[in-house]
Amino acid sequence: MWAMECLDWLLFSLSRAFCSPLAVFIQIQGCFICLTLALGWACAAFVRNREIKQMKDSMRAGNSFAFLYHDINQLEHDNQVNLPRVSVVMPLKGFGEHNLHNWRSQVTSLYGGPLEFLFVVESTEDPAYHAVSSLISDLKDSIDCKIVIAGLSTTCSQKIHNQLVGVEKMHKDTKYVLFLDDDVRLHPGSIGALTAEMEKTPEIFIQTGYPLDLPSGSLGSYCIYEYHMPCSMGFATGGKTFFLWGGCMMMHADDFRYDRYGVVSGLRDGGYSDDMTLAALAGAHKRLITSPPVAVFPHPLASDLNFSRYWNYLRKQTFVLESYISKVNWMMNRALFSSHCYLSWGFVAPYFMAMVHVAAALRIYIRGYASDETTFVSNGLLLVTGLAVCTFTELLSMWNLTRVEVHLCNILSPEAPPLSLATYNWVLVFIAMLVDNFLYPISAFRSHFSQSINWSGIRYHLRDGKISKIDRSKDMGPIYTDLGGKHLGKKGVPPKVSFIGALVRSLEQWRRPKKFDG
């Protein structure tokens, strides 16, 4: 009895405290964040939906190839023979359950111009090497495709090293280079659409796209889906954007041949993140980044993506804010760091307060307290009601954008098995929103104080925003990557580490004295 009375006192005290002006501001701010996200996703859905409407109008006008070109005259021979040469550079690491399907979608493009594919691996020991060799053997002479052995990176991340080696090996007549991650599933007309925009607007510095995550059913996969969704509105402008995704970047080949704007030196000399580095260079030189409305790509997540691997992925995402190439870039990253941490916990806090208000109201109902003694709970329930309405609006807008993007992907890839919203669990989406936003600041602060990260078994150390040291060990890191569940070719059995265990281990490493080379 005494314990229950103490619980009631605690709940009522918290509920009363959460009706203070500051607490009310925090709860209203949470509602504002929800509505802002809902508005952003609604605008993104409008842009993607407009593209769907244009393609359907073209189909009704008799163009059955609208998923390639809105104007069917673009398919005429005279237009196709004049298309510029494109080199597709794909840095690879490991081999997973979706890679073969993704690679086939990339190399079986319906682009009508000269096209070459460069699969770049660290060494022949990488599992990706044998998988790609088999794919090339199957396709034989139907495509211009080769494997490039890049060797080990020494001054930048392995991915950037592979990209730069791929650029060195591209055809001398290549006009545009397209960087693709191995988890990108292209549409038949994607390369043609990107190239057409580059031809139409020569001042474009980089063209990019964004993935549509297909959760596998685990909470970790839904956390990644939720993490990517707020960024999706920045890629659904249908034109100019400040965002850049390293999974799909088309650029002018001459920018690399002549190191314009420092793209080669900026990446090679200590670069950790390809997209963050290039976005910073674009901002510094006032260069144009665009994202066409058709550049949205299905991104199936690994079926065994557990919570520990999600945490490792989140750590890598927050770590990119620790890399920079200039003072201005550092200031921008600090602003992103601070605002994201504030908004993340500002999003979660109102739900904790709402739980207290609801629990207090239930205790009043069960114990039968007089209403005049608990009037503060009524005010709390009003705030809970407002938050519930805003949350529903946010989830509805997120659902609508996902529905539109699924529809767009199905139209752009008519030959592929249709995607469906039926597999999405929206209860898990809501839980993932709370979990991801709660963990983001923890991961961000961990990255800030550690200044090192383990990426696919390679540990990178930063100093002054650039990679200063690279550690490699056969026993270092996981044998699987985070999102795609790709096998990295390491020996041994993958340790079954829980998320809590991974978090505890990270905190232990955080507390260890740091050693720096002189």
User: Residue type for 266, please?
Assistant: G
Residue 178 has pLDDT above 90, yes or no: yes
pLDDT in the model for residue 376: 67
pLDDT in the model for residue 511: 43
Question: What pTM did the predictor assign?
Answer: 0.86
87 closest CA partner among 132, 53, 117, 45: 117
- Angle among Cα 140, 95, 191 to the nearest 5 degrees reads 55
pLDDT in the model for residue 71: 80
Checking phi first, is residue 61 left (phi over 0); if not, alpha (psi -120 to 50) or beta?
Answer: alpha
Query: How high does pLDDT run on average in the chain?
Result: 86
User: Residue type for 14, please?
Assistant: L
pLDDT in the model for residue 418: 92
Residue 495 has pLDDT above 60, yes or no: no
Residue 488 has pLDDT above 70, yes or no: no
Residue 167 has pLDDT above 80, yes or no: yes
Residue 499 has pLDDT above 70, yes or no: no
pLDDT in the model for residue 479: 52
Buried b (16+ CB within 10 A) or exposed e, 179-215: bbbbbbbbbbbbbbbbbbbbeeeeebbbbbbbbbbbb
Give the mean pLDDT of 448-475. Answer: 87
pLDDT in the model for residue 266: 95
Give the mean pLDDT of 263-291. Answer: 95
CB 105 within 8 A of CB 185: yes
- pLDDT tens per residue across span 193-238: 999 999 999 999 999 999 999 998 899 999 999 999 998 998 988 8
The Cα 308–Cα 227 span in angstroms is: 15
Residue 323 has pLDDT above 50, yes or no: yes
Give the mean pLDDT of 428-448. Answer: 95
176 closest CA partner among 156, 162, 161, 197: 197
CB 406 within 8 A of CB 420: yes
